[in-house]
């Protein structure tokens, strides 16, 4: 029973972590508090849905197309909409305020386009909805895939960020965008790249969750909120933090649901969130700002 609850919780946490990773890059490196993040996720879900139901393309193959598209789209969004804001704001607070307003507008643009094309109804398709037996616990293969992808992305990007020169440049921008140019870092292009990479991760999340969640054009905000909690809990800009926080939330929700009451899952989530904020305001893996 306990092992089953833990496994189910990890699988759920995988979804949370996967959806949050892109936002932690966008917020941590590019310093854009992207309120349209969840709508990018949903846009990718729609893309996977169309590829699968109209053209019969397997969503896993579809990802090869949707991920670069997500990257390109977010690159453009940053270059056109957000770069001017980043250039003109001298301090982080100002950029946060401006980016919140700009991406709030973007949220409605993306949602509006999705509403016009797909209407407001629910969309769904079945892919990999097959049971997988792990040590006696049945989990859905598509949800397991979310966990595997989350772990793979987190480790892959962690290695990229800590073991390569380019990763060091990204971390330099995240740590101190004002001083990074002094050592020859092009902050604009690095932030743009990080934002686009975050968008590609959001797209990956969108494709995977579309395999098992019924979604609609107006559901993006749900993912933005969940991702935001995970990002702040894990430490802004920290991929391993997002992974850990996502898994912790999934575990807590499932354990509370199994052993106490499913009605208290939300309360437990926010209690943990609150506890982290009180004890470690910078997040589990975040560095204290001086």
Work out whether 121 is an interface residue with another protein (CB under 8 A).
yes
Comparing CB distances to another protein, the nearer of 89 and 258 is: 258
Task: Compute φ and ψ for 87, nearest 5 degrees.
Answer: -70, -40
Interface pick for another protein out of 129, 152, 275, 277 (rule CB under 8 A): 129
How far, in Å, are 12, 248, 251, 258, 280 from residue 269 at the CA level?
13, 9, 10, 14, 16
CB contact at 8 A, 70 and 199? yes
- CB nearer to another protein: pick between 107 and 194: 107
Report the residue number, 76 or 264, with the smaller CB distance to another protein.
Answer: 264
Task: Enter the tokens of residue 124.
Answer: 């769904």
Please list, in sequence order, all residues whose beta carbon lies within 8 angstroms of the beta carbon of residue 222, skipping any fewer than 6 positions away.
38
Binding of another protein at residue 35 (CB under 8 A)?
A: no
> Given the rule CB under 8 A, which of 55-63, 169-177, 235-243, 263-271 is the region that contacts another protein?
263-271
Residue of 57, 81, 115, 175 that binds another protein (CB under 8 A): 115
Spell out, one character per residue from 183 to 222, where the chain touches another protein: x when CB under 8 A holds, - when not.
-----------------------------xxxxxxx---x
Contact flag: residue 257 with another protein (CB under 8 A):
yes
* Interface segment toward another protein; rule CB under 8 A; list 10-18, 34-42, 157-165, 280-288: 10-18
Kindly state whether residue 176 participates in binding another protein, applying the rule CB under 8 A.
no
Residue 252 C-beta: closest distance to another protein, Å? 12
Taking the CB of residue 172, how many other CB atoms lie within 10 A of it?
19
In this chain, which of 89, 124, 175, 188 binds another protein, going by CB under 8 A? 124
* Site size toward another protein, by CB under 8 A: 41
Q: From residue 52 to residue 91, what is the string marking binding to another protein with x (rule CB under 8 A)?
A: ----------------------------------------
- Looking at the DSSP bridge assignments, the partners of residue 134 are 137
Choose between 34 and 269: whose C-beta lies nearer to another protein.
269
Footprint on this chain of another protein (rule: CB under 8 A): 4-5, 8, 11-12, 15, 108, 111-112, 115, 119-122, 124, 126, 129-131, 138-140, 143, 212-218, 222, 250, 253-254, 257-258, 261-263, 265-266
């Amino acid at each position: 029973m306990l092992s089953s609850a833990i496994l189910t919780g990890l699988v759920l946490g995988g979804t949370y972590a996967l959806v949050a990773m892109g936002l932690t890059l966008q917020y941590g490196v590019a310093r854009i508090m992207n309120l349209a993040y969840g709508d990018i996720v949903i846009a990718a879900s729609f893309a996977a849905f169309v590829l699968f139901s109209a053209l019969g393309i397997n969503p896993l193959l579809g990802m090869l197309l949707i991920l670069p598209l997500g990257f390109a789209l977010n690159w453009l969004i940053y270059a056109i909409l957000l770069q001017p804001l980043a250039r003109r704001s001298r301090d982080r607070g100002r950029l946060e305020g401006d980016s919140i307003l700009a991406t709030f507008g973007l949220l409605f643009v993306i949602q509006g386009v999705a509403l016009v094309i797909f209407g407001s109804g629910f969309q769904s398709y079945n892919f990999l909805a097959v049971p997988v037996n792990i040590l006696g616990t049945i989990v859905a293969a598509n949800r397991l895939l979310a966990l595997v992808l989350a772990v793979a992305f987190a480790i892959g990007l962690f290695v990229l960020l800590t073991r390569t020169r380019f990763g060091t440049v990204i971390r330099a921008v995240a740590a101190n965008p004002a001083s990074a140019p002094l050592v020859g870092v092009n902050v604009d292009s690095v932030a743009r790249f990080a934002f686009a990479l975050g968008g590609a991760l959001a797209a990956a999340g969108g494709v995977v969750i579309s395999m098992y969640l019924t979604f609609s054009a107006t559901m993006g905000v749900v993912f933005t909120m969940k991702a935001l909690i995970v990002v702040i809990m894990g430490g802004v800009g920290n991929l391993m933090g997002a992974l850990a926080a996502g898994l912790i939330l999934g575990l807590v929700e499932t354990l509370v649901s199994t052993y106490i009451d499913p009605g208290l899952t939300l309360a437990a989530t926010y209690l943990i969130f609150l506890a982290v904020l009180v004890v470690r305001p910078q997040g589990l893996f975040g560095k204290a700002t001086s």
